[in-house]
Amino acid sequence: MKRIAVLTSGGDAPGMNAAVRAVVEQGAHHGIEVYGVYYGYKGLVEGDFRKLESKDTQHALKLGGTMLYSARFPEFAQADIQKQAFDQLKKADIDALVVIGGDGSFQGALALTKLGFPAIGIPGTIDNDIPGTEYTIGFDTAVSSALEAIDRISDTAASHNRTFVIEVMGRHAGDIAVWAGVAAGADAIVIPENAYEMEDIVHRVRQGRERGKDYSLIVLAEGVSNVDDFVEKYQALAAEQEVRGVSLSHIQRGGMPTSRDRVYATLMGARAVDCLREGKAGIYLGIQGEQLAEFDIIDTLSKAKHKLRQDLFILNRDLTQR
Ligand SMILES: Nc1ncnc2c1ncn2[C@@H]1O[C@H](COP(=O)(O)OP(=O)(O)O)[C@@H](O)[C@H]1O
Ligand SMILES: O=P(O)(O)OC[C@H]1O[C@](O)(COP(=O)(O)O)[C@@H](O)[C@@H]1O
Ligand SMILES: [Mg+2]
C-alpha cells in the first residue's frame, strides 16, 4: 500500500482533525503517502485531493471543525456518481480511503468497498448515534460545550427564579440531552427514545420548587420538538412559572476538542491505517468498554440500533421525582 486518502463528511465534529492527523502520521510511519480529500464525497467526485504532511495537521490537531471541510452531498447515493469517485481515486493512484463521519458517510464507504475500492469508517459525529460503538468523536466536546452553556443559563435562571427549556442537538438521538442534563442536574430530560407527559414534567418542576429550588432546567433533545413549541405547551400548564426557551444549536458543534475526543480520535485514526494495511475494508471503528473495536458496516449499521444510556436517564428521573 503506497497511497491512501482521508475525508470528513456530514456534520463536522470536534476531534475530526485529530483523527486526520493520526492517519497522516501513522501513514508516514509506514511509508504511506496520505492525501486529504476536500469537502467530503463532493470533493471525491471532483478529484479535490491534496497531499498532507505533518506540518498541515500539527496545529489543526487541537482545533474544532474540520481542516478538510465537509459537505452534505446526497448525490453520492447514486451509483453513477459513486463510479465517478471510484475513477478519480484510481486516476490519483490511491489504494484505500478513510472516511470520518456518521452513519450516512459509512454508507458511502460501503458503496466504494462494494465497487472494489477499500474504504473504512471512523465515527465522527457529535450525536453519538452510531450502532455498535459506545462513543463517537465530537460527542464529549459537544456535551461539555452544552453543559457550559447550561451552567451559564442557570446563573440567570436562578437570579429570576425562572424555568428554562434548553434545546440541544442530536438529530434523532437523545445522548447529548442525557449527558448534559445529568451533568447539569436538570429537573427533566426529554428525549425522542422515551415517551413523556407534559403534566409529569410540570409536576416534577413544581415539586422541585416546593422543595426550595431557585430555578428549573428542562433539557430538550431536538428530535422531540423545537423549543418554542415545547415552551408554549409547557407554559399553558404552568401559568405560575416564568418560562424561557433557548436553542443551543451549532454552538455545541464548535470549539476545541476535549482530551477524550482527541485521544480516541488519535487511536482510531492510527488503527484505520493499520486495518487498511491488513486488507480490511467495509468496516468502521469504534469503542467498546474503553477498547478499540471493529464493526462490519453491513451487519452493524442496518441491523443494530444505537443504545442510549437509559440507566443515566432513569437516574436523573429518580433523582428529580418524589
Ligand atoms: N445511502 C448512502 N449511500 C451513499 N452515500 C451516502 C448515503 N447516505 C449518505 N451518504 C453520503 O454521506 C454524506 C453524509 O451523510 P449525513 O447523513 O448527512 O451525515 P453523517 O455521515 O454525519 O450521518 C451524505 O451527504 C452523502 O454524501
Ligand atoms: O448543520 P446542519 O446541516 O443544519 O445539521 C444539523 C444536524 O447535524 C448535527 O449537528 C450532526 O449530525 P451528523 O453528524 O449526523 O451530520 C445534528 O445534531 C443536527 O441535527
Ligand atoms: Mg448522522
ipTM reported for the complex, 2 dp: 0.98
Q: If you measure from the C-alpha of residue 253 to the centroid of ligand 2, how many angstroms do you get, rounded to a whole number? A: 9
110-133 pLDDT, tens digit per residue, is 999 999 999 999 999 999 999 999
Instruction: Specify the 3-state DSSP secondary structure of 78.
Output: coil
Mean pLDDT, residues 300-314? 94
The pLDDT value given to residue 274: 98
| 189 known member of a binding site | no
pLDDT of residue 239: 98
State in Å: Cα 233 to ligand 3 middle: 29
Question: What does the pLDDT read at residue 54?
Answer: 97
**How far apart are the C-alpha atoms of 136 and 261, rounded to whole Å?**
8
Neighbours of 203 (CB within 10 A): 16
pLDDT in tens, 127-175: 999 999 999 999 999 999 999 999 999 999 999 999 999 999 999 999 9
* Cβ < 6 A, ligand 2 pocket: 10-11, 102, 125-127, 169-171, 222, 253
| Closest ligand 2 atom, residue 169 Cα | 18
Counting ligand 1 atoms within 8 A of each CB, the residue from 7, 8, 9 with the most, and so the one to mutate, is 9
- The DSSP annotation for 233-297 comes to HHHHH-TTS-EEEEE-GGGGG-SPPPHHHHHHHHHHHHHHHHHHHTT--SEEEEEETTEEEEEEI
Q: What's the longest Cα–Cα distance across the chain? A: 70
Q: Which ligand does the CA of 169 lie closest to? A: 2
Q: For residue 271, give Cα distances in angstroms to 6, 36, 47.
A: 13, 17, 25
pLDDT value at 55 more than 90: yes
CA dihedral for 45, 46, 47, 53, sign (positive or negative)? negative
Query: Rounded CA gap, 299 and 128, in Å?
Result: 19
Taking a C-beta distance cutoff of 8 angstroms, is the pair 105, 11 a contact?
A: no
Q: Which residues are catalytic?
A: 127
pLDDT at 320 over 90: yes
Average pLDDT across the chain, whole number = 97
Q: Hey, whose CA ends up nearest to atom 10 of ligand 2?
A: 11
Q: How far is the CA of 125 from the centre of ligand 2 (A)?
A: 8
Q: Which residues pair with 123 in a beta bridge?
A: 101
Pocket test for ligand 2, best of 9, 66, 70, 125 (most atoms within 8 A of CB): 125
Structural domains of the chain sorted by starting position, each given as residue range(s) with its CATH number in brackets: 3-138+257-303 (3.40.50.450), 141-254 (3.40.50.460)
125 is in an annotated binding site: yes
Whole-number Å distance between alpha carbons of 112 and 106: 10
Q: In angstroms, rounded to a whole number, what is the distance separating the alpha carbons of residues 283 and 177?
A: 28
Query: Do the annotations mark residue 250 as ligand-binding?
Result: yes
Q: In this prediction, what percent of the chain has a pLDDT beyond 90? A: 99
pLDDT, residue 302, reads 84
What are the pLDDT digits (tens) for 198-239? Answer: 999 999 999 999 999 999 999 999 999 999 999 999 999 999
In the numeric block, the cell 482530551 is attached to: 259
Digit-coded pLDDT (tens) for 171-196: 999 999 999 999 999 999 999 999 99
Residue 294: what pLDDT?
98
Confidence of residue 26 (pLDDT cuts 50, 70, 90): very high
Rounded to whole angstroms, the Cα distance separating 228 from 209 reads 23
Residue 187 cell numbers, joined:
429537573
Region 84-103 average pLDDT: 98
Query: What mean pLDDT comes out for the span 79-84?
Result: 98
Q: Which of 42, 34, 11 is nearest to 97 (CA)?
A: 34
